[in-house]
Amino acid sequence: MNIKFKLLILFVVVGSAIATAQKPNIWLTSDFTGIKTGESEWNHKTETQSQLNTESDPDDYCAVANYLMLANRFNTVRIVVGSDWAPSDRSTNAVAEFRARFLPAYKHDVEYWNGENGIGGYPSADELAAALRLASTQGKRFDASDSYKDINKLPETVRELVLELKSEKYSAKNPLYVMVWGPATEVATAIKHLQANNQNQALQNLFVVSHWLASYFNQHNPSPCRTDSVEKIKTGVANCNEDCRACKFLHDEAAKPNAGFRFVDVGAIGQDGIVEGSVPYFAPQGYRHPKAALFKKSMMGEMFISSNFTQNRPDGSDIASIYAILGTYGLSLNDFNNNGQITKQQEQHGRDVFRKQAPYMLDELLAISNIVANNQTSLKPEDLYYPLIFKAKGNPLVRHIRTADPDAHVWEDGRLWIYTSQDHDSDPITQKKVGHGYSKMDGYHVFSTSDMATWIDHGEILHSKDVHWGTDDGGWMWAPGAAYKNGTYYLYFPHMDKTMQWKTGVATSKYPQGPFMAEPTYMEGTSGIDPMCLVDDDGQAYLYFGSALVAKLSDDMLTLAEKPRTIDYGSDNFREGPYMHKYNGKYYYSWTDWKDKVNQGYYAIGDNPYGPFEFKGAVNARPQGAQDHHSMVKFKGRWYYFYHVGNFTNSWHEKGQGNRRNVCVDDLFYNPDGTLKMLIQTTEGVMPVK
């Protein structure tokens, strides 16, 4: 391809990505309050739990910390605290508490988050300070009989919201999201004013998202503002009851066909979903868990983990509304009615999804926290804190450690995951060769992304020391293959047994990021290296491994269901690295010919998982410094080819080679007849996707 033409394509794609990467505009109203007047700072502060003694539930301290750690994904317009029914003299000033606790911590950590080894895009502490307000409605309630027509008589923070909604920078496609973490007083007042003045465009610019203004599963006291028995119970929750007239007005107006504004009530999915789903992450030690201690290595991580950690998990349930807006955690606002009327099925689905997603959310937050900790460590990869988050900088994709043999998948959460083996470098201080050679490959890592730009290394998910049937020498953990079926994730891996024969092992986990637990013995009937699993559309799984072999897997995915068959792939150049994917109903069997000095990735096409396959030729040239070992996957409408190279020089100037490799990714394209276009290996890598 002509270089100038390729650069033009890259420019157009980059411009398109930037144009579509609009950050959600957030106006946060929270019942974040100060510490109870005349009482101790902490309600609990022990080895097992930690909870600030705030006037309102301290869950918003935890939720605000969570939000600030994700603040690079939003345009934060306002943070309005003290939006609570309690009189202001019952606690310290909410803005003062925010300034004293959050701003110094944020100012310290954001330098690392926006630094060379960070992920960037965070607002400064000064920008956050400028967005901070104390709710003018603190200690007050909504008056349904008042039209609130006169803008000069509106409470100051409500007036600011009204004026913001009138701005031309917002539209139905680019709305102002008003988060309700507490009573609905402020937003209900603003809506009443806009209605009284026929400000229809401003109403269209408004998108209200609330957490726990209603729930089918978590109620407290029946609403005094409702007569209908179902609504009386459903809205009988603390946030609604604190100003039930505002809550009733907001729900009733949104339900009208000509409401003008949109309103998604996500129920209590944060409590039953995220909060309760966090318990396994810290089990069994809870607040004494090493991961809880690791959060404390950054100041914002400390705020998140210690402000409201009770009953073996951090509780910041209101953050569910933010995750729903982002829509990259298996659930989005589209999964709810936008007229404020949540159904029981929607709330059940939301809490089920977020309960599964909670460990990933925590891994992501801990990875952000670890940016600070990892800027204070040595160069040694073994000293890094995981999970670790990083921005893609072209190829190679992974640079902080040596990784090889990428096995890529898109699981039900909608993210792209790659499972890799690990090579080792010399000691960066002594330059002593530690772990060089294929025999020293001793573990697997897993990486994930939602946009191909920001990645998380979730750390080591399985090590040779955890494979009890394996060789006592350790090492020998070569190319893995992952699969998912019936709620369980499977990791198939080649490993030497105690007689130094290659066998295939399998490890399982309930989460894609692991950790994985190896089965007590290897899979009978297996031999050779590089297992790869295809779960076909009908649910039947096949294992490809060894010297061009394939066999059905049993329903439990742990044993072969038949004797392995030899694959007819129409050529004689198979060496290793079998891979299978489907495209337009056809089966694409591919492999590596590492003896070929020009091309190494080859493929053939067939009509069923066994073959025979018609040989089609090469898809990838020999990667620089290493042999081809690939996987191919479709993600958000684009196809990608993952492979590795052996020519990357690390941060202490040690060059890569055949057993010191780094994972790469490039775009993969098909011809109209279904054949694969030859891969163009680039240093630019791939562009972000939304």
- Determine the Cα–Cα distance for residues 316 and 294; give it in Å rounded to an integer: 18
- Determine the Cα–Cα distance for residues 107 and 126; give it in Å rounded to an integer: 8
Please say if 47 is a catalytic residue. no
In the numeric block, which tokens belong to residue 504?
A: 């295939």
Count Cα atoms within 13 angstroms, Cβ side, for 16: 10
134: nearest Cα among 166, 95, 167:
95
- Determine the Cα–Cα distance for residues 663 and 275; give it in Å rounded to an integer: 35
Return the axis-axis angle of helices 299-306 and 94-113, rounded to nearest 10°: 130
**Helix, strand, coil shares, percent, the chain, to 5:** 30, 25, 45
**DSSP conformation class of 558:** S
- Determine the Cα–Cα distance for residues 668 and 584; give it in Å rounded to an integer: 15
Cβ atoms of 351 and 336 within 8 Å: the answer is no
In the numeric block, which tokens belong to residue 260?
A: 């003008």
- Determine the Cα–Cα distance for residues 25 and 134; give it in Å rounded to an integer: 19
For 607, other C-beta atoms within 10 Å of its C-beta total 12
Dihedral sign for Cα atoms in the order 471, 473, 475, 478: negative
- Determine the Cα–Cα distance for residues 4 and 6; give it in Å rounded to an integer: 5
- Determine the Cα–Cα distance for residues 223 and 204; give it in Å rounded to an integer: 29
Q: Cα separations (Å) of 185 from 98, 139, 242, 245, 551? A: 21, 10, 9, 8, 63
- Determine the Cα–Cα distance for residues 209 and 173; give it in Å rounded to an integer: 16
Q: Cα separations (Å) of 441 from 121, 381, 507, 657? A: 36, 14, 17, 14
What is the pairing mode between strands 206-210 and 176-181?
parallel
**DSSP conformation class of 71:** G
**DSSP conformation class of 203:** H
- Determine the Cα–Cα distance for residues 243 and 313; give it in Å rounded to an integer: 29
Catalytic residue among 57, 347, 405, 628: 405
Cβ atoms of 42 and 48 within 8 Å: the answer is no
> Alpha helix locations (H) across 375-506?
none
- Burial class, 166, CB count within 10 angstroms (exposed 0-12 / middle 13-18 / buried 19+): middle
The total number of residues shown for the chain amounts to 690
Catalytic residue among 576, 593, 628, 666: 576
What is the distance, to the nearest Å, from the Cα of residue 393 to the centroid of all Cα atoms in its chain? 19
Cβ atoms of 210 and 321 within 8 Å: the answer is yes
Residues facing 390 on adjacent strands: 455
Residue 316: partners with Cβ closer than 8 Å, 6 or more residues away = 59, 60, 61, 62, 63, 64, 65, 66, 270, 274, 275, 304, 307, 308
- Determine the Cα–Cα distance for residues 349 and 619; give it in Å rounded to an integer: 42
DSSP class per residue in 532-545: EEEE-TTS-EEEEE
587: nearest Cα among 575, 600, 573, 570:
570
- Determine the Cα–Cα distance for residues 70 and 361; give it in Å rounded to an integer: 11
Residue 544: partners with Cβ closer than 8 Å, 6 or more residues away = 481, 531, 532, 533, 534, 550, 567, 578, 579, 580, 589
Please say if 243 is a catalytic residue. no
Radius of gyration of the chain (CA): 27
Question: Mind telling me the catalytic residues?
Answer: 405, 576
